[in-house]
Structure 1
Amino acid sequence: MKTYIKYIALLALTATGFSCKQDLQEYNPAGSTAQTLFTTPEGIEAGVNGVYSYNRYFYGKEEGQALMEMGSDIWTNAANNGNTGTNGLFPQPPLMTYQGLTTDNVWVKTRMWQQCYAAINLANNVLKYLPSAGVPAARQKELEGESRFLRAWYYWHLVESFGPVPLQLEPTETILTTATRTPVDAVYEQIFQDLQFAVTAIPLTTTDYGRITRPASEAFLAKVYLTRGKNQEASNYAKKVITGYSYKLLPTYASLWSITGQQNTEVLWSVNYSTNLAFNAGSNLNHTLFLMEYNTQPGMKRDVANGFPNVRYMPTLFLLNLFNEQNDSRYNASFKSAWKANETDATKRPAGMNVGDTAVFTTKYPVTAAFRQSKKYKIYDVNDMYKADGTPSDRFHYVSLQKFDDPTRATDAETQSARDAYILRLGEMYLIAAEAQFNLGKKDSAAYYVNEIRTRAAVPGRQANMRVAAADVTLDFILDERARELAGEQVRWFDLKRTNKLVERVKKYNPDAAPSIQPFHVLRPIPQSEIDAVTNKGDFKQNAGY
């Protein structure tokens, strides 16, 4: 049974201090201030819980997927995502294709910049008032560890997205009119200081699902060390998480995505969404974002089992071709290729098609005209979905990611899901260890960790076919393996940036984005409203290229 961290809204206490005046003038009907709220242990606990809640602004959300997965080598625009020429409806394609990505992009501003700084400011309030709030000493250390971990977590998102950013370690209690962009190295120095404290202060386990634990904090520290090229440290922490605790890979990759088995031995940390959707302030929407428009096909109607098709994101042909599904179970566990007829009105089904028969089939392979004519169901083969160069030719119908499906929704019209959004899981630790060992020149060791993941992913009886030799391991191979294992889990953009492969692989594998991406796109634009708000504009400049 799920337990949940309870969240509170602290709008008046979480203004970033780097926003224009209208953003700072929040109405606070309760009259709460930091001085009154954080004077008791209960207020401190509520404040820490509130810092967690900001993950819900991007993990499991369309905005977060756009910022952290899209504009990469493995995803591109589906029909309802604002692309041109295909009846696009929604205005956010710059994060997908980089064309027109400007300093006023609303999701860069409101989701990544503002929400991360709001979370950091709340963490800073907790840290300031914690010593005098009457919290017992042991619990005080734990809460300091959590708050410093979370501050580091949000700063990592900022510094990786924007480069030098303002480094605030005290709460913003008045309107600031100046700001300075702290160098990346100095921001990371603070991130490491916070995390090194956290891994000694945070408990090993928790009964409050969704709260950070020591193994999870060590997992994040491994990722940060890898990001900064500290490969031995990254490897050490990844190995510790793999071998030092009771976490273990699930027997099958498909079992990771069971809606009834979300709390399992592989998940280190997740954003927990309540089954009472009213508590979520916006639930997980991932289940809607990757689905094709199946409901307009002959024999089909929208239902709970097949999901709510928002038709936002579709895989690049490159992503689909990364899998050899004869050996690798992750393809069929990750993607949906066939839809069964569910239309009970026989007049709306093709002649001879019964409920439960295949109604639609999508495939990354070409099919012959004879095969197509021999079937009652609608077929979309690779040549229907993609042009020869990989550019999508049908953005409504495609092989669809199903990892995030939620068949427990109350109705077919319900877009919100109680599915948790995994943030850190053990499978990624193997891949972090592999990448770190590869960077250290230890390809045998890198192959060992890759093979642990690939063996788990193997189709029964095909384990030997999945194993790779040390000579097979390259940085591009590791990135390919991360795509096979982690597609859609909101890590891809950061992966490509970390490995200095963003521009190269987007140009090579994403024909929608290839014409527009430039080297400066490895950083996001500083929101123009932040630059306009400061008086020391000479010290607070825009990233190059924007």
Structure 2
Amino acid sequence: MKSNIKVLIQLCFAGLLLVLSGCQESFLDEKPLDRFSPENLLSNKAGFESILVALHKNARDERTLDRPDQMGTGTDVSTSGVADGRFMKDYRLVLPNDQIVGYYWDWAYASMLKNANLIITRAENPEINWTAEEKNQVVAEARFFRAFTYNVLVNLFGGVPIVDQELTAPRFDFTRASRTEVLQFIQADLEFASQNLPLVGSDPTKDGRIFRAAALHLLSEVYISLGQATKDASFYDKAIAAATQVLDGSAGAYQLMTKRFGDTSRPGDAFSDLFWTNQQNRGSGNLETIWAVQYEFLTVGGAEGQNHDLRWWGPQFENIRSPDNKRILVSDSIGRSQGGNRPTNYFFYDIWKDNFKNDMRNSHHNIRRVWIYNDKTSEFFGQQARYTVANGRAVIARPDGTPTTIAVDTLRWFYPMIRKIEGQLPAPLSGRTNNDQVRMRLAETYLLRAEAHIHKGNMALAAADLNVVRSRANAKPVEAADVSLDYLLDERARELTVEEARRRTLVRLGKLYERATRYNWDAKATMQPYHELWPIPQKAIDANREAVLEQNPGYPGAK
């Protein structure tokens, strides 16, 4: 009872203070005394740089959600290895209240666009102490990130609301722009960025920053999208021109890495070197990477252990048992993967048929197809793990091929592993690493220019660009007569799987439903054409009470 009375007295006293304070008109006046308020912080270049750091962190966050890579799973290259319907394994479960749908919407509007627009709007303050060049470079990097974000949104949801300035008060009246309008908005941002971002230099302390080549690379892709949306073929010429500025050195010195570099004592090849720990960036001698997001071990803000590529793209091999029932042990660079992104047979077999043994990207340095029993207490230590099918189910096989009774899950536990997700692990991180993630590199720029040539109908020039990439991989050249959009997508799968936001690539080309249902057994069973686009999150529709935020066709609530 005494404690209750004490609480009541405290509440009454607090209320009296509020009443007395309310008598002073200045009590509610906002005075941004904290040094991190925009009014105090954004007074010089250093202040704006701090918000740019937040934007880089926000951009990294797109891929740090502790779930399978939603841009890969449910497409032609990957399904989910889990037994239930999550993670795009069952498209019927992709609904307006789905967690991942809301995550991407909030990531875009509450993080990326908020910070980008804060910079862009506040940069117009004439009292800021900086040069015109410094201002333009800061705004250019912010506009790059705004364009990057809208390119994600338009290729996940279709047309979305365009917010082009800092919001200083709540709004409940957003409406959706068309896909073409969003693409045109992106175009304007990237054209500005490509003219005002600096050229790449040799300073390794700048690794991870956005340079002119990144804007031109993304602009090439967006021009292609505009060509498709408007049926104006001149956009394909613009896409070729933008990519060419990156490829011919006009936007800085980049090159395909055709020879080994970095830690060459490690077994590998020129392709595997691109992804090994501490070799993703220019500071390591890697001149192919255009943009890599940064992770730092034991560093505040470094997102320690938040690169989930290893966790989700590799099989849950720790559950594989030897014939004497001993596990494969988790160790060193192969980490502790969980089988969330299970590549399809299309990736593991179909795309390599013409050059299975010789294509470097399919070598044992880049795809781990053999698993070895590594428990020294097992009589099968050092021998290759194998399975066979007996009585309609997969079981572990003995060295002579005869079946055991030990069941094995070939969808989640036992399948080849794409090795660009591997790397040196500084500490046990539950399947996560601190490897920097490559988001753009020169090989894709060649493929974007090849794609633009395909849209123009110039298959000879498309083949020439494709063969630059294929030559590095020791793959046989493609003939112009064999070039098509599907062939290009096959080449992107060979070169870019894990790195590429495959879902967004297929959506922008109108190919997601067609190719997912052709190559992905789970998508074939559950996907409908309207699943090309994700639903608008229901919480965004409900909150927008002063205007109608229309739902995408096919989903609950759509007209």
TM bracket, shorter-chain basis: 0.7 to 0.9
Unaligned runs of 5+ residues in structure 2 are 1-31, 228-234, 259-269, 389-393
Question: In the alignment, which residue of structure 2 is the partner of 1:38?
Answer: 42
- Within the candidate set 496, 505, 510, 1:500 is matched to 510
- Within the candidate set 446, 459, 478, 2:462 is matched to 446
Question: One-letter code of the match for 1:83?
Answer: D
Say if 1:226 and 1:234, in contact at 8 Å, map to a contact too.
Answer: yes
Question: In the alignment, which residue of structure 2 is the partner of 1:144?
Answer: 139
- Within the candidate set 272, 277, 282, 1:259 is matched to 277
Whether 1:457 aligns to 2:473 is yes
- Within the candidate set 99, 103, 114, 2:106 is matched to 114
Larger radius of gyration: 2
| Structure 2 counterpart SS, 1:403 | helix
The Cα shift of 1:146 comes to 0.8
Say if 2:315 and 2:339, in contact at 8 Å, map to a contact too.
Answer: yes
Superposition pairs for residues 129-528 of structure 1, below 5 Å? 129-132=122-125, 133-206=128-201, 207=203, 208-229=206-227, 230-244=235-249, 245-251=252-258, 252-263=270-281, 264-276=286-298, 278-281=300-303, 283-296=306-319, 297-298=321-322, 300-321=328-349, 322-323=351-352, 324-332=355-363, 333-344=365-376, 346=377, 349=378, 351=379, 353-354=380-381, 357-361=382-386, 374-375=399-400, 394-411=411-428, 413-458=429-474, 466-528=476-538
The Cα shift of 1:325 comes to 2.4
Say if 2:217 and 2:445, in contact at 8 Å, map to a contact too.
Answer: yes
The Cα shift of 1:34 comes to 2.6
Whether 1:83 aligns to 2:97 is no
1:420-451 deviations in whole A, cap 9, x for unaligned? 11111101011111111111111111111111
| Structure 2 counterpart SS, 1:173 | coil
Say if 1:235 and 1:436, in contact at 8 Å, map to a contact too.
Answer: yes
The Cα shift of 1:407 comes to 2.4
The Cα shift of 1:485 comes to 0.7
Question: In the alignment, which residue of structure 1 is the partner of 2:16?
Answer: none
- Within the candidate set 62, 65, 68, 1:58 is matched to 62
1:215-235 deviations in whole A, cap 9, x for unaligned? 121111111112222221111
Q: Distance in 2 between matches of 1:507 and 1:197?
A: 39
Q: Distance in 1 between matches of 2:241 and 2:403?
A: 51
The Cα shift of 1:416 comes to 3.2
The Cα shift of 1:36 comes to 3.0
The Cα shift of 1:398 comes to 1.3
Q: Distance in 1 between matches of 2:426 and 2:226?
A: 41
Question: One-letter code of the match for 1:399?
Answer: P
| Structure 2 counterpart SS, 1:507 | helix
Question: One-letter code of the match for 1:358?
Answer: Q
Q: Distance in 1 between matches of 2:182 and 2:427?
A: 45
> Relative to 1, partners in 2 of residues 1:291 and 1:361: Cα closer, same or farther, differing over 3 Å?
farther
RMSD: 2.7
1:98-129 deviations in whole A, cap 9, x for unaligned? 1211001111112x111111211111111121
| Structure 1 counterpart SS, 2:39 | helix
Unaligned runs of 5+ residues in structure 1 are 1-27, 85-91, 364-368, 386-391
Q: Distance in 1 between matches of 2:33 and 2:523?
A: 46
The Cα shift of 1:393 comes to 5.8
Say if 2:45 and 2:134, in contact at 8 Å, map to a contact too.
Answer: no
Say if 2:295 and 2:435, in contact at 8 Å, map to a contact too.
Answer: yes
| Structure 1 counterpart SS, 2:51 | helix
Taking structure 1 as the reference length, the TM-score comes to 0.82
Q: Distance in 2 between matches of 1:147 and 1:378?
A: 59
> Relative to 1, partners in 2 of residues 1:47 and 1:485: Cα closer, same or farther, differing over 3 Å?
same
Say if 1:61 and 1:286, in contact at 8 Å, map to a contact too.
Answer: no
Say if 2:90 and 2:527, in contact at 8 Å, map to a contact too.
Answer: yes
Question: One-letter code of the match for 2:223?
Answer: Y
Q: Distance in 1 between matches of 2:338 and 2:33?
A: 36
1:344-376 deviations in whole A, cap 9, x for unaligned? 3x2xx1x3x34xx2342589xxxxx9x965459
Question: One-letter code of the match for 1:491?
Answer: A
Say if 2:315 and 2:417, in contact at 8 Å, map to a contact too.
Answer: yes
The Cα shift of 1:341 comes to 3.3
Q: Distance in 1 between matches of 2:452 and 2:402?
A: 47
Q: Distance in 2 between matches of 1:97 and 1:142?
A: 44
The Cα shift of 1:30 comes to 5.7
Say if 1:60 and 1:284, in contact at 8 Å, map to a contact too.
Answer: yes
1:190-223 deviations in whole A, cap 9, x for unaligned? 2111111111111002542111001121111111
Question: One-letter code of the match for 1:248?
Answer: Q
> How many residues end up aligned between the 2 structures?
478
Superposition pairs for residues 17-36 of structure 1, below 5 Å? 32-36=36-40
| Structure 2 counterpart SS, 1:186 | helix
| Structure 1 counterpart SS, 2:53 | helix
Whether 1:47 aligns to 2:64 is no
Q: Distance in 2 between matches of 1:42 and 1:258?
A: 33
The Cα shift of 1:518 comes to 1.5
Question: In the alignment, which residue of structure 2 is the partner of 1:10?
Answer: none
Say if 1:266 and 1:427, in contact at 8 Å, map to a contact too.
Answer: yes
| Structure 1 counterpart SS, 2:219 | helix
Q: Distance in 1 between matches of 2:333 and 2:165?
A: 48
The Cα shift of 1:135 comes to 2.3
Say if 1:165 and 1:184, in contact at 8 Å, map to a contact too.
Answer: yes
